[in-house]
Structure 1
Amino acid sequence: MTTPPPSTPHFDFHLSNPGALIAAIPAVLGFVPHRSLVLVTIDRGELGCVMRADLADDMTDRIEYLADLAAAAGADAVIAVVVDAASSDCRACDDRYRDLTLLLVDELAAVGVELCAAHVVDQVAAGGFWRCADGCGEEGRVDDPGASPLAAAAVLDGRRLYGSRDELLQVIRPDPVAGASMKRKLALAARPPGGAVSRPDADVRRDVEAALTAAQQVAAGDQPGRDELVRLALGLADPRVRDTLYALAVGECAEQAESLWALLARNLPEPWRVEALVLLAFSAYSRGDGPLAGVSLEAALRSRPTHRMAGMLDTALQSGMRPDRIRELALTGYRLAEQVGVQLPPRRTWGRRAG
């Protein structure tokens, strides 16, 4: 996973202070990492994208992949942080951390990126204990992640911070009971997901308006019934409906629409949930929530690797493209809405905090 930092005003944030740097990681990733290798990229002396991979016995392929991502993001250098609860009472693990550091040095050098430092920490929490991964002797305590300037900036950006990656995944985790029930209904549908059957403008308009109504319903705490969810799934099978709805990510009802996409992602079966996942990813990315966008795109591409929009968004996210560039794609939705005669909510005014 690659995540750009929150778009923020200038903060007195020192990359050379390991305790502060480690405390800032949850604000950028969107969750508290456990058993992870985290690479914090540095771009012209400033904090860049942050990448994470699960720890494994053999990290060769994962480190090679992360090094390629760091290079693609234009990083000059990276700082590595190994999050391993065993590090506090497992001095025998030191050789493994040193080997991992050497592997990082080699793989990063191969793509023209420098490893500035490597730290091992037992937990990313206030008072967590960190030390050098290469045995240099430096050590210290982690600052309070909740007091990090980047945590404050993330909250101002409208991002939720999760206690773990599993908690983040709960946002899109499918409900097998609901999915099985919906699958029987959708199996009788005339329009398969991804279908390209041309439909009258009036039908497209009704499906877009149904999605707007459902978003307001979800925002009011009233979950649509299964028949209505099936209708929404059928609407998303039409490319013109789906492409129009991308515009909601930059409109005044963006939060309501995002809640609807998350609800559909949890309740629709494969492969119908893919379009909801991509709409959710686009909405999250547009407001700067790279973690939610990342897990949504991962799930969508796992189900349909050839999905064009998911692939494009994933490439943009992995390369560290800023949310303001992504939001430009929503303009197509407004043009399509005008063509079919549907009135979308006005566009939001995005300030600096929004990316």
Structure 2
Amino acid sequence: MNKYFVGIEGGSTSSKLVVLSGLTGNILFRKQAGPTNPWLSFDESVSTVRSLVRSAEKHLQDQKAKPRYEDEFFTSEPEKGNGSKFGGIGLTLSGLGDKNLQKKFLKRLIHKSGGELANEYFFGSDLIGPLETAFGPGRVGCVIISGTGSSSRLVAEDGRVYRSGGLGHLLGDEGSGYSTSVNAIKLILQRVESSFLEYEETRRFDISVLYRKMLNYFEITQGSELLTIFYRDFRKHKIAGFTRHIAEAAYNGDPLSIYLLQQTGKQLGKLACSITNKYIKNNPKHPKINFLGVGSMWKSWDFIGDCFLGQLPKVPFRFASLKETSAIGAASFVARKTGLEIPINRENLIEVKYEN
């Protein structure tokens, strides 16, 4: 098992695990579980990671017991040295960018597991896993996450990291699922309450489609019941989930929903522009920039795309989305830490949306 590498990507809604063969890069096992953002629940996140790793360990041990083997490392010969330990475990989790928190997480993980699970470990935030998955080392890559929350990181050729966004729903998260939902809800409530706070620009839209969807999604009968959802039983991912219904209405032609998603595209474009300008200022002779959109909001590219692209600087770039889990990047990171470069065909893992 010490030639297998585990990667886990996790956020506030769900987590995904893959096990890669260190020799071929083949995915030997996959599993999905609940959230692993340590800021939401540290102990629960540790338990979820432990459970995912133990499931992978059991699956691979069961496969080794079978008479025929599909991967190069499934052999009947006993492994030397480290028993059933994995070669490495890589975690790229939302909220796990702090070094002290990483040390605490590793200590608790080993303690709850009754000992070491792998020969090596790698910890990082959910922003770096997608870049490693899509582009690998040594290329200028900028990830723009737009899911429940939003954030952006750009990694230069020299490894320097540029940051923008990622301040959370109280101080930022523009262009996220949460902000899109809140913008829709605020507009509806302002209209229902006959509030003069509503912007002149939005008064031309009919709110009836989204109003019905809002009442049905939150299982309420009137807008005032949202106060309980926002102030007593607050769940960020639940509120952000309303964007699925906004997207559905947009694809059915609702003008207000289309407008809201276009505004989200502009906000994401400004986020990308901000971080790109920081990088260009220090690297005037920069190579083509690889932008990567990660998160459920990018599924509405038909409405977000043009507004997003219209905000970007006039520089050579490519924009792509992932077709695979960024847990692959987490496994690749930890393998490299052991001195092994897993062969990964990264062009097969992305879908290019735009290139100039």
User: Same fold by TM (over 0.5)?
Assistant: no
Considering Cα pairs closer than 8 Å and 6+ residues apart, tell me whether 1 or 2 has the greater RCO.
2
Higher share in helix: 1
- Normalised to the residue count of structure 1, the TM-score between the two structures is 0.30
TM-score relative to the length of structure 2? 0.30
